[in-house]
């Protein structure tokens, strides 16, 4: 079954804990309705090791650290190792880095990002001098060649690489009852993600801005049935 990863973008650890968000998500995880959470700037709101330990041990959440690393290999190796050792289940990097870890044990934690959901086709052409379709296929081939654990992209991206055997994490996913696009260009419905056998869907604001977080999670979970 497709797992839900709740994106906690722009949320500090203290506000998520004290406001009850993490407790609700922990209960949803316990009920099998979500896999866990996606975090990025939350790591800058305190001690990384303590934050990760609390998310894993206190709240029992799966943690996808969405840092989208792109640097020289030694720097990426250090960063990924530290995050994994702190408890990260998944760490994102840009496929364009063509990163190959010396420590092959890290591979199962790495999720290679193809194209950002905020990019238009024109921006992709301008930056990479390739079409959207060409760059997604090229980057997914890099993820497969390097034996990453996951590949990340919009549902529309995943429709181009259905033959790629890596686990697929779909971003830009919206439930049927949520109409806002925000800053994402390539968005799709949960139904479209299911049609492509997405392993995980990342959903943030439809849950985090809801008046009742658990109600929103339950509604989305039902769409995945």
Positive or negative: CA dihedral 80, 86, 89, 91: negative
Positive or negative: CA dihedral 62, 64, 65, 71: positive
Residue among 66, 156, 157, 168 flagged as catalytic: 66
Residue among 27, 56, 68, 130 flagged as catalytic: 68
Residue among 71, 82, 125, 130 flagged as catalytic: 71
DSSP structure string for 22-77: HHHHHHHHHTTS--EEEESGGGGGS-HHHHHHIIIIIS--EEEEEEEE-S-HHHHH
Q: Quickly tell me which residue has 């181009």 as its tokens.
A: 160
CB 143 within 8 A of CB 175: no
Annotation says 125 is catalytic: no
Binding-site residue ranges: 38, 117, 174, 184, 204-205
Annotation says 71 is catalytic: yes
Binding-site residue ranges for substrate: 38, 117, 174, 184, 204-205
What residues are annotated to the active site? 66, 68, 71
């Amino acid at each position: 079954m497709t797992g839900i990863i709740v994106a906690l973008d722009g949320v500090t650890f203290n506000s998520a804990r004290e406001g009850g968000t993490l407790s609700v998500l922990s209960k949803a995880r316990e009920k099998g309705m979500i896999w866990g959470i996606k975090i990025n700037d939350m790591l800058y709101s305190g001690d990384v090791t303590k934050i990760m330990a609390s998310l894993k041990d206190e709240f029992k959440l799966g943690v996808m650290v969405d840092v989208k690393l792109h640097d020289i290999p030694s720097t990426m190796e250090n960063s990924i190792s530290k995050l994994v050792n702190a408890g990260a289940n998944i760490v994102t990097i840009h496929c364009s880095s063509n990163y190959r870890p010396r420590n092959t044990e890290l591979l199962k934690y790495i999720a290679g990002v193809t194209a950002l959901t905020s990019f238009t086709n024109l921006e992709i052409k301008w930056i990479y001098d390739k079409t959207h379709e060409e760059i997604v296929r090229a980057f997914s081939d890099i993820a497969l060649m390097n034996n990453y654990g996951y590949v990340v992209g919009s549902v529309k991206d995943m429709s181009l690489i259905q033959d790629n055997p890596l686990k697929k994490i779909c971003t830009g996913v919206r439930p049927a009852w949520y109409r806002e696009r925000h800053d994402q260009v390539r968005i799709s419905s949960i139904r479209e993600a299911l049609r492509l056998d997405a392993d995980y869907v990342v959903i943030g604001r439809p849950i985090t801005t809801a008046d009742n977080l658990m109600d929103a999670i339950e509604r989305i979970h039902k769409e995945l049935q």
